[in-house]
Amino acid sequence: MQEISLDLRHLTLSALRFGNPNGPKVLALHGWLDNAASFVPVADYLNDWDVVALDLAGHGHSAHRSADAHYHLLDWVQDIHEVLHRLGWSSCHFLGHSLGGIIASLYAATFSEQVQSLTMIEAFGPLSLEPESSVTQLRESVLSRLAIDEKPARHPPSLAKAITARLLAGDLSKAAARLLVERNLVEQEDVLMWRTDRRLRTISSLRLTEPQAQAFLAAIQCPVMAVLGEQGFEKVRNNLNRRRELIAQLSDVNAQGGHHVHMDNPETVAEHIRCFWQQVASH
């Protein structure tokens, strides 16, 4: 597994690259507050593909956005467009978990000619909000940004305590939590510090409406597979059920596990992914 850096126009992103450098190209995008290590458990099962697992801006080893910027969902689409250019890839398969799956779905709709297939793990298009909630959403977003600047940075006392805190926050196994936490921490002058930009925890300024979200999904032209954890997020399953008719070439599978099913049940999830990519290649 190789650590790589990608210099974009305004920031530098890091990534983990694994598999066969001569194989079909795959861009893997992790979930909110996770990082590229999210895909380490499936790496051993995807040896025939050239996989670049990206640290999204503000996550893992990647740079933070500038002080006058924020983490708007749609801005990640531009990041991905630049990443493909820097990699020299004209097209690739997309593999996204949670937030990464949402970003990948937006990209697949917007730049369909560059997406050979789309696999969304515990995601099915953008989260949406009723239009009448937009005013309150923007107000809460601005206030959350101002509030976080006033809070002192928190430092975990030890790696073990940081892993324990991550376990309490979600459905991860201890091994999976360790992978994510280790990549999200850095030691400076004997003090552990989070690499993650804490501005990621602020409230989004705007969300798409359901008709807008559905318009993006309806514009996707490539084959799509949704992988859901049997104990995953109910919101994701609800989105799949109400939006499935929008995708012309859709398959969906369930696997034992929760929201991070690809980390805690990597062999099963990777088998679904392999079969899907092989099926896409055969057509």
Cα–Cα distance for residue pair 56/35, rounded to 1 Å: 7
Tokens encoding 281: 């290649």
Under 8 Å between Cβ of 133 and 66? no
Q: Which of 56, 145, 41 is nearest to 98 (CA)?
A: 56
Counted residue by residue, the chain has a size of 283
Instruction: Give helix then strand counts, H and E, for the chain.
Output: 10, 10
In the chain, which ranges are E strands? Answer: 2-7, 12-19, 25-29, 50-54, 92-97, 115-121, 185-188, 191-194, 224-229, 250-255
Catalytic choice (14, 38, 62, 98): 98
Active site includes 98?
Answer: yes
Residues involved in catalysis: 98
